[in-house]
Structure 1
């Protein structure tokens, strides 16, 4: 009778060991890597893992780590370290475009298919702006031509550039930019109070956002009627992105995008 009672408990214990040994590992990549900056990948083993080997997107070995002895051998311009009995990290000291893609971490030579993660490499843009009028005397309802020069950006993932004037979104562009890119955005605006303040571009790639200031329109002077009373607000409509815009602005707004334009 005693042997029969121990049997079920022995079977449950053995199944637990099997599940632990063959559970999968995990490779963690950052959301995005900045061109020329360090990028760190973390491999987390499972169960009785004894070794990690990192593989680049082109299939070359970047590093191999013995988790038991806490020793790593690096290949090429990479650096790796053992954190504990189940984790190691690989550092790319200076991210290049060639480092973008699917990285792999092999846990032990005879493990199940390696775990992977995608590394996205990007260069955030810089920008400058110019206005065809004196920005210190701009009034609500004035019409201006705003030129924004965006320089040196790219992403190995789909990129999106959004131009924001004050708190109003003006232009949004989504495209693949796998080579270093420059472009110029030119827009004609009938000014509203919401345009007052900074002119900004928002760079989005791989679910991350970065805002870059290009300049400022300053504080707009309120428009007044001939009697000195404030002008009544225009009727507002919303486009598909729910960005407010007046009917007068929509009817007069002209947007043109010129690429690689050099201002004189």
Structure 2
């Protein structure tokens, strides 16, 4: 009769043997799947409209060909890794890197290129998402009821209208435009889809929190930029401007006989007097020099005239 201990040992050995077979079978299946095809697709998350970009597809295993499919479900290129050749369609370029990878080049990114790209390889399709964007150009202008339109002299309570002109912007995802001023005070917050040109207007009464820098923040997908706009860049409190102006202006005390008179500095009067004296002296010197030269030349002329007269008289006598 078999002992209970020996029977338990036999059952345990069979259980361990079955578990070992099961783990080996799972490992072999996973290895077969991995060896057959393990694709990996890499692309940049954000691509600026009009720029160049590369997409890379890696294939490990027995597969020797794959294709790049655009978000609009058209084939951009097909690559044969064994032959080392790619066959791109128009507006694309592709090349084989080695027996396991290739690169697709978009020389000029267009709006339809935003979205999910696919690296097609049977039986699996790898995807990567590309967001196409273009930061806007902008100009901020104002219309105020009680202050200058340059917003350099505002007071609390003034009615102001800020207008933001957006142009040439794009985001293949939803985008967000925020206009802020002063201490993180949001004036405009608007969400757009495929925005290109638009005009945003905000009317408000000025408070102390509005004084400061005016900023435009543009967000596309997960990226944000502080866009530099033309036109108004800050809202300035008028009281500060008045104080600065009053300190830079010079004042003249009023005279006893009427309105304020302008007083010239003493050094200006002294300079003018010295110049006048020098000018008079120069004139006198020039006159003296002219007179002296004239006197030196006159006796010679008289002597010549006298000698000529004597000769004539002698000739008359002889005749």
TM-score when normalising by structure 2: 0.56
Displacement after TM superposition at 1:196 (Å): 0.6
Quote the offset at 1:124 in angstroms: 2.1
Q: Work out whether residues 94 and 105 of structure 2, in 8 Å CA contact, stay in contact via their aligned partners in 1.
A: yes
Q: 1:161 to 1:22 in 2, by over 3 A?
A: farther
Equivalent residue in structure 2 for 1:169, among 186, 202, 205 = 186
Please identify which structure carries the higher strand content: 1
- What is the deviation of 1:222? 6.7
Which residue of the partner structure matches residue 299 of structure 2? none
* Equivalent residue, structure 2, for 1:112: 123
Residue 188 of structure 1, aligned match among 204, 208, 218: 204
Q: Is the 8 A contact 1:31 1:208 kept in 2?
A: no
Answer 1 or 2: higher relative contact order, Cα 8 Å, separation at least 6. 1
CA distance in 1, matches of 2:155, 2:26: 78
RMSD of the TM alignment (CA)?
3.1
Aligned length: 213
- What corresponds to 1:45 in structure 2? 59
- The aligned residue for residue 90 of structure 2 is 76
Larger radius of gyration: 2
SS at match of 2:55: strand
User: 1:137 touches 1:221 (CA, 8 Å); kept in 2?
Assistant: yes
1:186 deviation in Å?
A: 2.8
CA distance in 1, matches of 2:205, 2:66: 57
1:160 pairs with 2:176: yes
Out of 101, 106, 114, which is 1:92 matched to? Answer: 106
CA–CA distance in structure 1, aligned partners of residues 226 and 86 of structure 2? 39
User: 1:79 Cα deviation (Å)?
Assistant: 1.4
Give yes or no for contact 1:143–1:191 (8 Å, CA) kept in 2.
no
Q: Given the alignment of the two structures, is residue 137 of structure 1 paired with residue 148 of structure 2, yes or no?
A: no
Q: How does 1:1-264 map to 2 (within 5 A)?
A: 14-22=28-36, 24-107=38-121, 111-132=122-143, 133=148, 134-139=150-155, 142-166=158-182, 167-177=184-194, 180-193=196-209, 195-197=211-213, 199-214=214-229, 215-217=232-234, 220=237
Partner of 1:259: none
| 1:116 shift after superposition | 2.2
What is the distance in 1 between the residues matched to 2:37 and 2:155? 66
Structure 2 segments unaligned to the other structure (5+ residues): 1-16, 241-319
Contact 2:86–2:95 (Cα < 8 Å) also in 1: yes
Give distance in 2, aligned partners of 1:174 and 1:136.
Answer: 30
Counterpart of 1:234 in structure 2 is none
3-state SS in 2 of match to 1:162: strand
Unaligned runs of 5+ in 1: 224-264
Contact 2:163 2:199 in 1 (8 A): no
Provide the rounded CA distance (Å) in 2 between the counterparts of 1:87 and 1:176. Answer: 35
What SS does the corresponding residue of 1:21 show, helix, strand or coil?
A: helix
Asked if the contact 1:140–1:193 (Cα under 8 Å) also holds between the matched residues in 2, the reply is: no
